[in-house]
């Protein structure tokens, strides 16, 4: 029988999740043994089964072209990514610490602005940020929580330590894949799952629901909680239905809601019903056409007035984009020191701000070793990968940078760690990142042990975003090691 | 329940029922078209007229071409009323109410959608395996009904699904009868070829009931009696309207009594109209007229749902 690992060739200077110096790491041994013994066909069948399960459950997103919807599955790699208990401990503590500081920062910038006045974060950086919203200034949000849900992206550099890549504090997505990927694994690798004592991720909707209930301002046992979706054409629509379903809350679109006398109501078959908490998956700028974008059909006119009045809670809070702006990212370690008087547990990736003359010059001179990003874009759009770009692309990008340097940051090309993937019948290393989901409620911050491992399926690629040819894996956090 | 959700549940279910009705209709006519009858050549004209938006010239081109008609009615992407498009619409509605239907029901619609879009369907029709295609697809409808029945909670969504389904079924039965009786100039007593009645009853799963009820052989009068007035027969118009009435009663609530009463009146009126008719009264006013009136009443009821339940302000 052909060895599945024959083609597992590791590039230098990369942390591999499974191998350390050609030895299989302790926590990957059971998986390795299984994969070394499993017949080729069986693995292929499992892969096919996984694909069918995704298709039949409609866990797909639709790409519309020439009036015809084409169903696509978010590519799923059957081989799980494994994280040890001790690794998870660091990740968990680091994210809790970071999120605490970021939340304090949001409260600060929308109230006393002490961090700005003491120069921890430059005030012009905040005032120039398009996601800093004056509508939020002085507004008291329930329990002082702004970031109820965070999906902070981590990567591992060649020394194996975790780095924070991005703080997603607005409407992070992907959590349904964390849960669904596990459900698929239960079907295809039940033995391995129990053998390895993998921690469960099923609690996520329960914790989120508990937190949402706690935000209602009306004194009622059964507050009305809704999930506001942009609708079925949104690429994350499956996730919206998934979460609404598991929490037993109503999934609404903007046109289902109406604001009357600064209270929000939904239109039901028996008239209007007051809404207490909105878990929105609609971006700030589309939320209320009276305050933000006037052409938005996705939002609810008057929503912000009800929010300011305290008659409805919005999750995540409005205006969080001022804290996960890529130019603000650089100051998060200082925020941690300032607000918590602690050293950051998880490191930042070194980041150059192109608005600073010396840093810009350095970046432009070393652009082949850099990744340049726009500060207010996400999803892998608007990025320049210096090591892979052509000279023309670089020149064009440089001109754009010089026009508005504030809108760009640069980071040295980081070697994401690699993990084994089953691709075209062979196991091959591919680069991965990790997005754990943190939930912030009145009882504090809770992380479900797991997360979404995104994988760059193209050989040599460092971009894991699904819009750029990325896929995902089930992520196992073990009880031991 | 959100007004929009009620609307989508209603239509999701209606579209499924519509695929069922169209397939039954296709099956009976396809089978009939294979029989060499003594009279004229079999034409698809009545079906094309009722179920498509084709103009006279286009119908002329198609009416004797069995394979082309089947393709147009089942897998054609341009025909708005092809099965593939109706199923797609049902699924779009289901997508919008995914949190109100069970995972199993969603899985059913989803599988149905993927099945009808397979290229295999094209080639099977090409090879004249139409009955296999129809059987396979009709099984998906049965699966849907069974799955919905054993998994859906008995609350508003379920009631709206059943109201939509029953209105559609009544309409389909009206249309099924229209196709044949228009051939016979709506004269109940004209003798027609008996195999046709047989296929019609079989396609409506009503043949067994018919032969148990009537010992005198197949004739249009008895078929009409069973398809319209027999309330033990689940595809009869009377039975379907009674179902609408039955499920609608659940929607009564103090919060919208006024709206409820308006719709209740329309459904009750139609129910009585059918209940208190018989073959003589149908004959005397003309079957054509009778069926048209039922059709219009059903459309009126749908409009009332739109106004009083689905378009809340």
Give the tens place of pLDDT for each residue, A94-153: 999 999 999 999 999 999 999 999 999 999 989 988 899 999 999 999 999 999 999 999
- Do A126 and A235 fall within a single domain? yes
- Beta carbons of B256 and A256 less than 8 Å apart: no
Closest Cα partner for A201 from A436, A30, A434, A470? A436
| Amino acid B203: pLDDT | 78
Statement: residue B312 has pLDDT above 70: no
Model-wide pTM > 0.90: no
pLDDT of residue A72: 75
Instruction: Inform me whether the pLDDT recorded for A380 exceeds 70.
Output: no
Phi and psi at residue B196, to the nearest 5°: -60, -45
Residue B29: per-residue pLDDT: 85
Confidence grade of residue A379 (pLDDT, cut at 50, 70, 90): low
Helices A204-213, A237-247: axis angle to 10 degrees equals 70
B156 contacts on A by Cβ (under 8 Å): 269
Query: Which residue in B2, B88, B114 is closest to A250 by CB distance?
Result: B2
From A309, A340, A371, the end of a domain falls on A340
Confidence band for A252, pLDDT divided at 50, 70 and 90: very high
Same-domain check for residues A269 and A315: yes
Looking at per-residue pLDDT, the higher value among A23 and A4 belongs to A23
What is the average pLDDT across A384-398? 86
- Say yes or no: A284 and A217 in one domain: yes
Q: Contact at 8 Å (CB) between A146 and A106?
A: yes
Exposed/middle/buried for A135, CB within 10 Å: 0-12, 13-18, 19+? middle
Query: Is A362 within a domain?
Result: yes
> What's the pLDDT at A2?
60
Decide if A235 is inside a domain.
Answer: yes
pLDDT digit string (tens) for A38-58?
888 899 999 999 988 888 877
In a domain, A249, yes or no: yes
The pairing of beta strand A437-441 with beta strand A149-151 = antiparallel
Asked if B36 is an interface residue toward chain A (Cβ–Cβ < 8 A), one would say: no
Quick one: pLDDT at residue B299?
Answer: 97
Percent of chain B with pLDDT over 90: 67
What is the pLDDT, as a whole number, of residue B37? 62
Cα distance between residue A283 and residue A321, in whole Å: 10
For residues A385 and B230, give the distance between their C-alpha atoms in angstroms, rounded to a whole number: 73
Q: Check CB contact under 8 Å for B255 and A57.
A: no
Mean pLDDT, residues B223-236 taken together: 94
The whole-number pLDDT of residue A285 equals 92
Last residue of a domain, one of A358, A393, A412: A412
Residue A66 has pLDDT above 60, yes or no: no
Place of tokens 């696509």: A72
**Quick one: A133 and A273 in the same domain?**
yes
Q: Residue A59: which pLDDT band, with cuts at 50, 70 and 90?
A: confident
Residue A464 within a domain: no
Task: Name residues whose C-beta falls within 8 Å of residue A137's C-beta, 6 or more positions apart in sequence.
Answer: A110, A111
Structurally, chain A folds into a number of domains equal to 2
Please state the φ and ψ torsions of residue A312, each to the nearest 5 degrees: -145, 145
Q: Categorize the per-residue pLDDT at A63 as very low, low, confident or very high, splitting at 50, 70 and 90.
A: low
Q: Are B163 and B169 in contact (CB under 8 A)?
A: no
Which residues of chain A lie closer than 8 angstroms to B110, CB-CB? 55-58
Residue A67 lies in a domain: no
Contact list, B80 vs chain A (CB under 8 Å): none
Q: Do B99 and A250 touch (CB under 8 A)?
A: yes
Do A264 and A376 sit in the same domain of this protein? no
Does the residue A473 lie in any domain?
no
- What residues of A are in contact with residue B92 (Cβ under 8 Å)? 232
A114/A229 same-domain check: yes
Whether residues A267 and B2 touch (CB distance < 8 A) is answered with yes
B84 in contact with A, Cβ within 8 Å? no
**Residue A403 and residue A319 share a domain:** no
Q: Which ipTM score applies to this complex?
A: 0.70
Give pLDDT tens digits for B233-270.
999 999 999 999 999 999 998 888 899 999 999 999 99
Task: Kindly report the CATH number assigned to the domain that includes residue A377.
Answer: 3.30.1490.270
CB B151 within 8 A of CB B105: yes
Shared domain check, A281 and A406 = no
Average pLDDT, chain B: 91
B252 has a chain A CB within 8 A of its CB: no
Q: Tell me, what's the pLDDT at B212?
A: 87
* B45 pLDDT above the threshold of 90: no
Q: Is residue A467 part of a domain?
A: no
A283: containing domain: 87-169+192-340
pLDDT tens by residue, A352-363? 988 888 989 999
- A323 band by pLDDT with thresholds 50, 70 and 90: very high
Question: Could you report the per-residue pLDDT of B175-212, keeping only the tens digit for each?
Answer: 888 877 887 777 777 776 777 788 888 878 898 899 88
CA distance B11 to chain A (A): 15
What are the pLDDT digits (tens) for B61-117?
999 898 999 999 999 999 999 999 999 999 999 988 988 999 999 999 999 999 999
Q: Are residues A210 and A303 in the same domain?
A: yes
Question: Which CATH number does the domain housing residue A235 bear?
Answer: 3.40.50.11290
Band (B47; pLDDT cuts 50, 70, 90): confident
* A163 and A289 co-located in one domain: yes
- Report d(CA A278, CA A315) in Å as an integer: 6
Q: Residues A130, A254: one domain?
A: yes
- Mean pLDDT of the residues in chain A: 90
For an interface test with B, the pick among A237, A247, A269, A272 (most B C-beta atoms closer than 10 Å) comes out as A269
Q: Which residues of B touch A245 (CB under 8 A)?
A: 98-99, 103
Last residue of a domain, one of A310, A340, A370: A340
CA–CA distance from B151 to each of B106, B146, B147, B154 (Å)? 11, 9, 6, 9
Inside any domain, residue A24: no
- In this predicted structure, the answer to whether residue A265 has a pLDDT above a threshold of 90 is yes
Q: Give the Cα separation of B294 and B233 in Å (integer).
A: 18
Chain A residues within 8 Å of chain B (Cβ atoms): 55-58, 68-69, 71, 231-232, 237-238, 241, 244-245, 250-253, 255-256, 258, 266-272
Same domain, A321 and A379: no
Which region among A162-176, A353-367, A373-387 has the lowest average model confidence (pLDDT)? A373-387
């Amino acid at each position: 029988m052909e060895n599945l690992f024959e083609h597992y060739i590791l590039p230098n200077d990369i942390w591999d999740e499974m191998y350390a110096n050609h030895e299989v790491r302790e926590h990957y041994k059971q998986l390795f043994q299984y994969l070394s013994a499993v017949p080729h066909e069986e693995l292929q069948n499992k892969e096919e089964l996984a694909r069918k399960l995704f298709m039949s459950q409609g866990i797909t997103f639709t790409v519309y072209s020439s009036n015809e919807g084409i169903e696509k599955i978010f590519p799923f790699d059957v081989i799980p990514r494994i994280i040890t208990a001790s690794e998870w401990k660091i990740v968990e503590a680091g994210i809790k610490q970071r999120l605490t500081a970021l939340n304090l920062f949001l409260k600060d910038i929308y109230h006393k602005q002490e961090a700005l006045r003491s120069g921890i974060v430059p005030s012009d950086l905040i005032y120039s940020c398009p996601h800093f919203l004056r509508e939020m200034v002085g507004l008291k949000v329930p329990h002082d929580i702004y970031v109820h849900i965070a999906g902070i992206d981590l990567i591992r550099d060649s020394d194996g330590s975790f780095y924070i890549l991005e703080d997603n504090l607005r409407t992070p997505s992907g959590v349904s894949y964390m849960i669904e990927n596990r459900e698929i694994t239960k079907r295809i690798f039940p033995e391995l799952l129990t053998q390895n004592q993998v921690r469960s991720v099923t609690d996520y909707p329960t914790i989120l629901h508990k937190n949402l209930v706690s935000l209602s301002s009306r004194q009622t046992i059964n507050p009305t909680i809704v999930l506001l979706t942009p609708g079925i054409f949104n690429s994350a629509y499956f996730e919206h239905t998934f979460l609404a379903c598991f929490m037993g809350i109503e999934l609404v679109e903007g046109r289902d809601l109406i604001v009357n006398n600064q209270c929000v109501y939904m239109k039901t078959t028996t008239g209007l019903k007051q809404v207490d908490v909105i878990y929105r998956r609609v971006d700030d700028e589309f939320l209320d056409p009276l305050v933000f974008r006037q052409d938005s059909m996705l939002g609810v006119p008057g929503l912000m007035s009800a929010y300011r009045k305290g008659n409805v809670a919005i999750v995540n809070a409005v205006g969080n984009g001022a804290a996960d702006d890529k130019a603000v990212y650089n100051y998060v370690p200082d925020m941690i020191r300032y607000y918590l008087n602690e050293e950051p547990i998880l490191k930042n990736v070194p980041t150059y701000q192109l608005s600073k003359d010396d840093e810009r010059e350095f970046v432009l001179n070393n652009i082949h070793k850099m990744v340049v990003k726009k500060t207010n874009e996400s999803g892998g759009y608007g990025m320049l990968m210096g090591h892979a770009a052509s000279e023309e692309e670089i020149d064009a990008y440089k001109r754009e940078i010089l026009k508005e340097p504030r809108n760009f940051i640069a980071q040295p090309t980081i070697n994401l760690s690699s993990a084994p993937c089953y691709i075209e019948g062979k196991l091959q290393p591919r680069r991965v990142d990790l997005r754990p989901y943190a939930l912030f409620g009145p009882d504090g911050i809770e992380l479900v042990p797991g997360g979404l491992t995104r994988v760059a399926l193209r050989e040599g690629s460092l971009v894991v975003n699904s819009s750029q040819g990325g896929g995902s894996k089930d992520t196992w956090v073990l009880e031991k090691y | 329940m959100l007004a929009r959700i009620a609307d989508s549940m209603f239509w999701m279910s209606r579209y499924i029922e519509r695929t069922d009705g169209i397939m039954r209709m296709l099956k009976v006519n396809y089978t009939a078209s294979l029989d060499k009858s003594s009279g004229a050549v079999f034409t698809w004209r009545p079906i094309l007229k009722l179920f498509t938006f084709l103009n006279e010239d286009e119908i002329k081109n198609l009416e004797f071409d069995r394979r082309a008609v089947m393709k147009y009615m089942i897998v054609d992407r341009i025909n708005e009323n092809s099965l593939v498009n109706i199923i797609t619409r049902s699924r779009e509605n289901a997508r919008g109410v995914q949190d109100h239907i069970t995972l199993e029901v969603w899985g059913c619609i989803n599988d149905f959608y993927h099945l009808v879009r397979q290229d295999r369907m094209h080639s099977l029709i090409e090879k004249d395996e139409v009955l296999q295609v129809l059987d396979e697809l009709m099984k998906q409808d049965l699966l849907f009904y069974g799955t919905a029945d054993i998994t859906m909670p008995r609350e508003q969504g379920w009631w709206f699904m059943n109201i939509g389904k029953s209105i559609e079924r009544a309409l389909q039965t009206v249309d099924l009868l229209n196709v044949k009786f228009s051939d016979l100039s709506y004269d109940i007593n004209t003798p027609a070829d008996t195999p046709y009645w047989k296929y019609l009853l079989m396609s409506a799963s009503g043949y067994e009931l018919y032969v148990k009820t009537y010992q005198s052989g197949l004739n249009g009068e008895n078929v009409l009696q069973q398809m319209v007035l027999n309330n033990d027969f689940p595809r009869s118009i009377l039975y379907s309207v009674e179902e609408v009435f039955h499920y609608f009663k659940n929607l009564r609530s103090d919060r919208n009594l006024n709206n409820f009463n308006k719709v209740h009146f329309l459904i009750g009126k139609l129910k009585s109209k059918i209940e208190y008719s018989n073959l003589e009264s149908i004959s005397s006013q003309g079957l054509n007229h009778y069926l048209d009136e039922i059709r219009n009443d059903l459309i009126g009821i749908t409009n009332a749902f739109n106004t009083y339940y689905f378009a809340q302000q």
